Structure 1
């Protein structure tokens, strides 16, 4: 049996129907839930329910504000919520709020409902909570959300850069799949065909869509892709279908330059483009660079604010972020001079691709 959300609701005005959805799905018939919100959108969300006569069916809910995406923040939320009895815990916010809420729900043994206010990464429906800790940043296995809501009215208020980040997150799936398939062929690693299909379908849907983040149709496609990506990890029981060399590079940036790290999706999108370059897959490299550039995402280290020496250092360190995971970085095991040469060549070809008239439509 594969655990999947009872409901995935993506539309304008979805947030106002939260109470009804919780009751209809028997998650919380009486609306007795703990609701975690972030400091940024929390006041807006709370006002929406306060202005309704019956609180949209959530008059019995208690509200908690999440500040920061650390393991300590998650533990603090656990301590606050466990003081009363609830049917479920609802996270309303961006990736940070959802990750904190997922971790807290796991500790409390409560079902978790994810209400996303931006589309920055595939944590919306994933069984993974990414939180900062004393050692830097860690990923923790948690139960996937029991329900997922995305209100496009709230998404429209999110910073465009955070939405574009979600594109990079989904596009990187294809590179992660290539790493997983190679590990299966060359090292006998077990692979799950359904997880691969879900992750690949989500990436292709976004890459082949000609719309932009200004279009509701594209936002629905992106949201569904992020949910499918999360479900791929549920099916696989690991982050493998969505995390390969692309994510190792991103983790290296987070650990080595925490004060200068960009959005997660921006980093893994660029990491995926570089991984395709290392594999020598010209078609996939061009398709990835074209998609990233079309949506205004970074395609060269300089676009992330790093020089080529720094990026080479990230790539060199990257395999250490996921010991035991086999990707193109581990398979090639390039020396520092070889990596330096590859980074410069990648940078030159990416630049040539995005400046060649007629290439980007």
Structure 2
């Protein structure tokens, strides 16, 4: 499951093996221009620019029949490729160009309906091709943000304990909980490899994504990786209507929600993001202080209205005093 090939220069080799098939090559315009020389002219290229379900459905209706789908890019390209593969019941190969998000290893598709995330469908890729050279050629901010969907275990595990104690969802499974804690330990203990995007650092993050994806598929929940930090991120997207770098946004939300869970927990998050060089200042994430404030004021209600899994957002209310304090820390 989630068969992954690692190496340098392997994306070009993969594309050459596929050029005699009818391939729908899903990417974004900037990536098409950057990597045009390794993309066979025979591929039917489709550039996407958002994940709204109605938009993708329209593209799908206009696109000719193919044998296979290839997703080449970050989370948007990968999830869009999964969508087309799902709609057409076709095999799908995914080639991430950055490790900014865990979409390759997430079997559902993260669509948007009126800017609100919704998970639909089920796609297990035929192959995931991780080309170290392509990953390292991405802007460092994209790659560093990839820690977000691993760092999120830090707050998600806390929320899972709350859920289990309240009897509001699956009880904590020690095997899953302990493995997620060990993954966090590896993350916190190898900041130099992550900051330098060494082969080891890249593989560490991708292996963590794979574990989350496999266990999420087998258990049909991801409470060990998704909790109040993701719910706050979804609230931010809904309130602000912006397309933000997912992993960096989630990392900022891990800081905020870990502080909300228990004062002092955010200190480990701060040390980690500072060590790898990932900024979680609202302005660097693409947000104003007022936008973060508006999202925090909305977060409790958003979680309830969207029937999100039980978390600290169900146990206590975010106050103006908390908002003022955490924004002061993030500036």
What SS does the corresponding residue of 1:345 show, helix, strand or coil?
helix
User: In structure 2, which of residues 271, 284, 302 is the aligned counterpart of residue 290 of structure 1?
Assistant: 271
1:60-209 equivalences in 2 (<5 Å):
62-70=43-51, 71-81=53-63, 83-86=64-67, 88-133=68-113, 135-141=114-120, 142-191=122-171, 193=173, 195-196=176-177, 199-209=180-190
TM-score, length-scaled by structure 2: 0.85
Change (3 A) 1:276 1:157: same
The structure-2 alpha-carbon separation of the partners of 1:191 and 1:217, relative to structure 1 and needing over 3 Å to count, comes to same
Contact 1:91 1:115 in 2 (8 A): yes
Instruction: Name 2:310's counterpart in structure 1.
Output: 326
Q: Structure 1 145/174 Cα, relative in aligned 2: closer, same or farther at 3 Å?
A: farther
Matched residue, 1:253: 236
Where do 5+ consecutive residues of structure 1 fail to align?
23-27, 51-58, 352-361
Measured at CA, do residues 117 and 101 of structure 1 come closer, stay the same or move farther in structure 2, by a change above 3 Å?
Answer: same
Q: Cα distance, 1:207 vs. partner?
A: 2.2
Max Rg structure: 1
Deviating more after overlay: 10-19 vs 264-273: 10-19
Q: C-alpha displacement at 1:196, in angstroms?
A: 4.2
Tell me, in whole angstroms, the C-alpha distance in 2 between the residues paired with 1:298 and 1:343.
19
Q: 1:136 to 1:247 in 2, by over 3 A?
A: same
Write the distance in 1 (CA, Å) between the matches of 2:128 and 2:172.
24
Give the RMSD, CA atoms, in angstroms.
2.9
Mapped to 2, the partners of 1:124 and 1:116 lie a distance apart of 7
List alignment gaps of at least 5 residues for structure 2. none
Distance change (3 Å), C-alpha of 1:21 and 1:285: farther
**How many residue pairs end up in the alignment?**
323
